[in-house]
Structure 1
Amino acid sequence: MSTSVPTSPRETSTMSVRPARPARRLRTLAASLALVLAGSLSGCSLVDKIGGADPVEAENPTAAATEAAYDSQFTRDGTFQSHIDIDGMDFVYTLWPTKSTPRTNEWYPKGNKFFSFTFQVYDLDRKLRDPFRTKRKAYLGNIKVTSRTITADGGRTQRPYRLDAEAAAITFDPEAVTHPVHGMLITSPKGSFELRNQKIGPMSNDTRGLELTFVADVHYETAPGSGQFVAKKVKQTVPIAIFESDTPTQVAKIPVNAN
């Protein structure tokens, strides 16, 4: 496996006795749009049926998007986790920087940056310690991750990380439980997809943010032991701040089994 393989209609009005109101409305609209933009970049998820087209990405994000990219849970907390509820199945993406580049406030354009991530699901219709046989099974087939940079001046988009592979073939567990058609088991606590030490390559010096978009092809049971499955794509976008510096991101040597 290699990471290389794998944004209103114009409003018109006539002159009124109280001309200040349209101006206030426009200011309110502008402020609302700014809040929507910032919220969308803080980490958004989306669920589609398998076969749906992936969202089209703007090639040159705006300067406002550049500022909002700093609102990153991953950068602020040193980890990112999302919970996506589909029919009572809680799909969980978790990302964190690895020990080779652990300080997210020192992720600079130059140099490589490393992260790990997991993806698993919990059947919320059952208690955590209920017998596993009473829980709906979910399986992960293909896992795809794309990237795009956000630059200070709206420059050319770069894509320093990419993944597109069958999950069972690349997960940390070499003997993952698999389904002959739907992929590897990801229902907790018996199954989880894990990928370690993923390399994000160097970016242009004007890069101020990075978005990673995850798309997982999943099948989950309609009822425990039913053998009947629902197919979905589970998507998650994770914003990451990149800080201005002429110094490359420092990469420390770590043991092969470090995380």
Structure 2
Amino acid sequence: MLPAPSRPPRLRALAVAAAGLVVLTSLTGCTQIASAFNGLQQNAVSTPAPRPAVTQAVSMPYDSKFTYDGSVSLSTDVADGLEVRLDVWAADPKRTQEWAPDNDKTFGFAVNVVDHRVDEKAVLTQKRRVYMSMISITSQVSQSTIGQQQMMSPFQFSADPRTLVPSDTMRSDRGLLLNTFQGGLLVPTTTIHQLPADTYGITLQFALQVWVEGTANTDTSFQQQTVYQVLPIAIFSPTTPTQ
């Protein structure tokens, strides 16, 4: 079994910075954000799709850097030298080889942006701003028994990120500001609940609607685009061999 992964220095710094950026000044604030996120997520309906009654078992590996390291940083270029960064880490259990179909699997994530054309400590007017107006997460399970009913999107969520942070967080009609040291979205914990017993993997599919500033401090230069990221996560049964 892999040892409990330690959070990389960049993630530790990001968590500290993001906590201040979204004005998470108390445990109550974090709890409210997690509750809002999980409450909306739990309202999602999982619809099984009918399959032929065949019970042929297959054994397949599931490649997941998140599972191996316990955390992952996913980056998308939205302009030259401008990237949107999605960081995801295992929260409970922290040992990702304890992520099984029948237990709760809790993770946290943060969304920020980095403008490589300027120093990260530069004032906001020197940076190309990025606002996020919507975040959506869907999911797909991989099951080892062919012909059984497949669970469709067992974890899904969609919300305006401005509803997940305190009202004084920097924002505009374009959405929540993501720029490092000026804004961002931090969701400390959210949970994937019970999955079919034969699940050996789940893939989370993130879609972020963003407005990207073409020239720093120029309101007329914004353009909208959608950022997509895919996160595979391995799921282990009690009989799954561990390393």
Same fold (TM over 0.5): yes
- One-letter amino acid of the structure 2 residue matched with residue 164 of structure 1: S
Structure 2 unaligned residues grouped into runs of 5+: 1-35
Partner secondary structure for residue 60 of structure 2: helix
Partner secondary structure for residue 161 of structure 1: coil
TM-score normalised by the chain length of structure 2: 0.71
What is the RMSD computed on CA atoms of the aligned residues?
2.5
Shift of 1:83: 1.3
Contact 2:101 2:235 in 1 (8 A): yes
Choose the corresponding residue for 1:162, options 132, 156, 165. 156
Contact 2:121 2:181 in 1 (8 A): no
Paired residue for 1:196?
A: 188
Contact 1:66 1:150 in 2 (8 A): no
Paired residue for 1:93?
A: 86
User: Does residue 135 of the first structure (1) align with residue 127 of the second (2)?
Assistant: yes
- Aligned positions, number: 189
Structure with the bigger percentage of strand:
2
Distance 1:157 1:66, change over 3 A: farther
- One-letter amino acid of the structure 2 residue matched with residue 226 of structure 1: T
Aligned counterparts of 1:128 and 1:119: Cα–Cα separation in 2: 16
Shift of 1:59: 10
Shift of 1:4: 2.5
Contact 1:66 1:151 in 2 (8 A): no
Give the greater-gyration-radius structure (CA).
1
Shift of 1:217: 0.6
Paired residue for 2:238?
A: 245
Distance 1:196 1:59, change over 3 A: farther
Choose the corresponding residue for 1:4, options 27, 42, 45. 42
Paired residue for 1:146?
A: 138
Identity %: 25
- One-letter amino acid of the structure 2 residue matched with residue 103 of structure 1: R
Aligned counterparts of 2:50 and 2:74: Cα–Cα separation in 1: 26
- One-letter amino acid of the structure 2 residue matched with residue 170 of structure 1: L
Paired residue for 1:252?
A: none
Choose the corresponding residue for 1:117, options 100, 109, 115. 109
Aligned counterparts of 1:231 and 1:92: Cα–Cα separation in 2: 17
Distance 1:149 1:127, change over 3 A: same
Partner secondary structure for residue 75 of structure 1: helix
Structure 1 unaligned residues grouped into runs of 5+: 7-57, 247-259
Choose the corresponding residue for 1:177, options 158, 170, 181. 170
Aligned counterparts of 1:106 and 1:85: Cα–Cα separation in 2: 33
Equivalence map 1:51-130=2 (5 Å):
67-68=60-61, 70-88=62-80, 89-98=82-91, 100-130=92-122
Distance 1:157 1:125, change over 3 A: farther
Ranges of 4+ aligned residues in structure 1 off by more than 4 Å: none
Contact 1:91 1:121 in 2 (8 A): yes
Partner secondary structure for residue 68 of structure 2: helix
Partner secondary structure for residue 76 of structure 1: helix
Distance 1:214 1:59, change over 3 A: farther
- One-letter amino acid of the structure 1 residue matched with residue 204 of structure 2: L
Shift of 1:115: 0.5
TM-score normalised by the chain length of structure 1: 0.67
Choose the corresponding residue for 1:187, options 179, 182, 189. 179
Partner secondary structure for residue 67 of structure 1: coil
